[in-house]
């Protein structure tokens, strides 16, 4: 089928911005870079890399992505203030293709209750923001926040102002996930009537999933003329999340003959991108999740299995290989050398050299001793696990957990502090994991509380690598951490210490208070 340029849908990925706003997600600069490189391989058109004004860490990550990731447009988010826009520009300016995305709410409830201002002021702010952004770059996106709940005539006036000042993309978000497909499509139809200039720019859909309608609403937006869709890998994002990237891309591909729309996404990278985002964010993918859930291509009922064996299309509308599943041709064993490992990693898209290669090789050997075959999935898990080990985080040096059915489990641990010092702790608990995590709290002097604990296997088989995700709370901060090892206790310890390190990185105040309390306790004379 010939592809008409007019029918190309731009994929605007906001995993690192709206997705990163999900509770408990705190990605380091290196992790964000890793995801951004993978999004580049996936072939998205735009990466919204962050919201630079919000923290120095966010600024640095956006800047690093802008400097390193080639191909997609790199976008930074900004409210309408000049300070926000300056920060966004300074973070993205080194990209080959920088975009500033500025937004202000246009619904009365947001204007009156949140911004505590007037419609006139909103118009003035939108005008000034787009003009200021255009002073820096030709690529400026404007969003009327809470668009789907805004009075369409007023929103049209604001959009016209943004266009007059030179905005090149207009994105109309369903910020609170309230709209329905017919309503969202009707809103765009009315906007095209009220603002004919919209036909000269790219119009974009951005939908949240509070009522489970994000992908359906995005599709309705595309039907009404949008040619950019904003989405996040695995559907992560504020509250119930954003429209899931993989669902949109595969919907457009699988129903191409009906919809007549297409994207430049390389669908073969979908499975891997989903695994990476899940692993680094600590948000597991539900087993029955469309496209990337582990059951998405599994057939349980005998009648289905029989049908698929005879003819795959009896029960399958997509081929698993299209999204990069079942491509695990790489298999290494315990005799494989450094060269074979480097080649395999290269094939997987990891450029690992020097000290990083030595660490990856040592880790590979350790695992290959316990596991007969090390597959692509294992390598991916090990490399992401190693990349996540920051020198400023706590490290698990040694542990011992005694468990039996007749007495309370006891755990003893030795932890490496960020400065290199070794500390020890021991504790009993209701179960081995409880004892282990309490011993880690005792060693580090923190009172973190476990909120969620998940364990899964990276591949099938009894010798599979175990992957653990932990969500904990420390002084009101939620943070996740992941760990991978053949021993699930070791994976659990790694995950717990990473979550603890992430909670502290997110809350430097908590870290400073903690050190002060410890110093005070040490200097208080005992009676």
Binding site for Zn ion (CB under 5 A): 18
Whether 271 and 291 have beta carbons less than 8 Å apart is answered as: no
C-beta of 233 vs 382, nearer to Zn ion: 233
143 binds, among ligand KIV, Zn ion, none (CB under 5 to 8 A by kind): ligand KIV
C-beta of 99 vs 412, nearer to ligand KIV: 99
Radius of gyration, CA atoms only, the chain: 25
Whether 261 and 252 have beta carbons less than 8 Å apart is answered as: yes
Kindly tell me which residue out of 173, 235, 395, 483 binds ligand KIV, with binding defined by CB under 6 A.
173
C-beta of 209 vs 441, nearer to ligand KIV: 209
145 binds, among Zn ion, ligand KIV, none (CB under 5 to 8 A by kind): ligand KIV
Q: Does 143 bind ligand KIV (CB under 6 A)?
A: yes
Q: Does 80 bind ligand KIV (CB under 6 A)?
A: no
Q: Does 79 bind ligand KIV (CB under 6 A)?
A: no
Q: Measured from the CB of residue 19, what is the shortest distance to ligand KIV in angstroms? A: 10
Query: Helices 152-164 and 119-134 meet at what angle, rounded to 10?
Result: 30
Between CA 140 and CA 130 the distance in angstroms is 7
Maximum pairwise Cα distance, the chain: 85
Quick note: the x/- pattern for ligand KIV over 194-213, rule CB under 6 A, is ------------x-x-----
C-beta of 10 vs 446, nearer to Zn ion: 10
Q: Which residues of 408-419 are buried (b: 16+ CB within 10 A; e: fewer)?
A: ebbbbbbbbeee
Q: Measured from the CB of residue 172, what is the shortest distance to ligand KIV in angstroms? A: 9
Q: Tell me whether residue 303 is exposed, middle or buried, using C-beta atoms within 10 angstroms of its C-beta: 0 to 12, 13 to 18, 19 or more.
A: exposed
Q: How many residues bind ligand KIV (CB under 6 A)?
A: 9
Quick note: the x/- pattern for ligand KIV over 297-326, rule CB under 6 A, is ------------------------------
103 binds, among ligand KIV, Zn ion, none (CB under 5 to 8 A by kind): ligand KIV
C-beta of 210 vs 434, nearer to ligand KIV: 210
Q: Measured from the CB of residue 175, what is the shortest distance to Zn ion in angstroms? A: 6
Q: Measured from the CB of residue 144, what is the shortest distance to Zn ion in angstroms? A: 12
Q: What are the structure tokens assigned to 332, written together?
A: 């290494």
Q: Measured from the CB of residue 77, what is the shortest distance to Zn ion in angstroms? A: 10
Per the document, the length of the chain is 527
Kindly tell me which residue out of 12, 89, 103, 394 binds ligand KIV, with binding defined by CB under 6 A.
103
Whether 99 and 75 have beta carbons less than 8 Å apart is answered as: yes
What DSSP state is assigned to residue 232?
B
Measure Cα distances from 471 to 17, 441, 492 in Å: 20, 14, 11
C-beta of 209 vs 507, nearer to Zn ion: 209
Q: Measured from the CB of residue 93, what is the shortest distance to ligand KIV in angstroms? A: 21
Q: Does 235 bind ligand KIV (CB under 6 A)?
A: no
Taking CA 162 as the corner, what is the angle to CA 156 and CA 166, rounded to the nearest 5 degrees? 140
Measure Cα distances from 501 to 25, 82, 118, 498 in Å: 13, 34, 43, 5
Between CA 488 and CA 485 the distance in angstroms is 6
Q: Which residue(s) pair with 454 in the sheet?
A: 469
Part of the chain binding ligand KIV (CB under 6 A), chosen from 35-43, 53-61, 154-162, 169-177 = 169-177
Whether 47 and 39 have beta carbons less than 8 Å apart is answered as: yes
Map tokens 């009404």 to a residue.
Answer: 224
55 sits in the region (left: phi over 0; alpha: psi -120 to 50; else beta) called beta
C-beta of 83 vs 422, nearer to ligand KIV: 83
Please state the separation of Cα 446 from the chain's center in Å. Answer: 27
Q: Does 145 bind ligand KIV (CB under 6 A)?
A: yes
Whether 369 and 335 have beta carbons less than 8 Å apart is answered as: no
Part of the chain binding ligand KIV (CB under 6 A), chosen from 148-156, 168-176, 300-308, 372-380 = 168-176
C-beta of 143 vs 501, nearer to Zn ion: 143
Part of the chain binding ligand KIV (CB under 6 A), chosen from 31-39, 113-121, 171-179, 453-461 = 171-179
Taking CA 393 as the corner, what is the angle to CA 391 and CA 396, rounded to the nearest 5 degrees? 100
Site residues for ligand KIV per CB under 6 A:
18, 103, 143, 145, 171, 173, 175, 206, 208
């Amino acid at each position: 089928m010939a592809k008409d340029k007019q029918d190309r849908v731009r994929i605007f990925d906001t995993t690192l911005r709206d997705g990163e706003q999900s509770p408990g997600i705190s990605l380091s600069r290196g992790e964000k870079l890793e995801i951004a490189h993978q999004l580049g391989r996936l072939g998205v058109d735009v990466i919204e890399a962050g919201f630079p004004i919000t923290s120095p860490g966010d600024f640095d990550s956006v800047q690093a992505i802008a400097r390193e990731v080639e191909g997609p447009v790199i976008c930074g988010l900004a409210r309408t203030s000049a300070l926000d826009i300056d920060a966004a520009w300074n973070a993205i300016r080194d990209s080959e293709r920088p975009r500033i995305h500025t937004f202000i709410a246009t619904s009365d409830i947001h204007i009156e209750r949140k911004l505590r201002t007037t419609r006139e002021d909103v118009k003035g702010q939108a005008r000034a923001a787009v003009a200021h952004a255009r002073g820096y770059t030709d690529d400026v996106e404007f969003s009327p926040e809470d668009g789907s709940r805004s009075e369409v005539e007023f929103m049209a006036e604001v959009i016209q102002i943004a266009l007059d000042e030179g905005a090149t993309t207009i994105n109309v978000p369903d910020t609170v996930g309230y709209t329905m497909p017919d309503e969202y499509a009707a809103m765009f139809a009315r906007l095209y009537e009220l603002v004919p200039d919209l036909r000269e720019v790219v119009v974009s859909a951005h939908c949240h999933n509070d009522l489970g309608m994000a992908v359906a609403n995005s599709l309705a937006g595309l039907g009404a003329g949008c040619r950019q869709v904003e989405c996040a890998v695995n559907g992560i994002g504020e509250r119930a999340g954003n429209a899931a990237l993989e669902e949109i891309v595969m919907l457009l591909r699988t129903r191409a003959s009906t919809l007549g729309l297409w994207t430049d996404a390389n669908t073969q990278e979908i499975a891997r991108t989903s695994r990476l985002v899940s692993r680094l964010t600590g948000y597991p993918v539900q087993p029955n999740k469309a496209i990337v859930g582990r059951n998405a291509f599994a057939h349980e009922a005998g009648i289905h299995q029989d049908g698929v064996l005879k003819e795959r299309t009896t029960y399958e509308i997509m081929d698993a290989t299209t999204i990069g599943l079942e491509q695990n041709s790489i298999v290494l064993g315990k005799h494989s050398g450094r060269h074979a490992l480097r080649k395999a990693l290269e094939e997987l898209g990891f450029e690992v050299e020097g000290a990083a290669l030595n660490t990856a090789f040592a880790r590979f050997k350790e695992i290959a001793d316990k596991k007969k075959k090390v597959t692509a999935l294992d390598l991916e898990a090990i490399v992401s696990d190693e990349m996540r080990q920051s020198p400023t985080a706590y490290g698990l040096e040694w542990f011992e957990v005694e468990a039996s059915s007749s007495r309370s489990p006891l755990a003893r641990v030795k932890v490496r502090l960020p400065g290199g010092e070794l500390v020890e702790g021991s504790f009993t608990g209701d179960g081995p994991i409880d004892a282990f995590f309490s011993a880690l709290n005792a060693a580090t002097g923190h009172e973190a509380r476990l909120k969620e604990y998940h364990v899964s296997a990276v591949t099938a088989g009894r010798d599979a690598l175990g992957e653990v995700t932990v969500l904990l709370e420390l002084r009101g901060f939620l943070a996740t951490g992941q760990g991978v090892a053949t021993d699930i206790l070791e994976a659990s310890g790694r995950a717990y210490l990473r979550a603890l390190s992430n909670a502290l990185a997110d809350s430097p105040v908590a870290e400073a208070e903690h050190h002060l309390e410890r110093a005070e306790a040490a200097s208080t004379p005992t009676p």
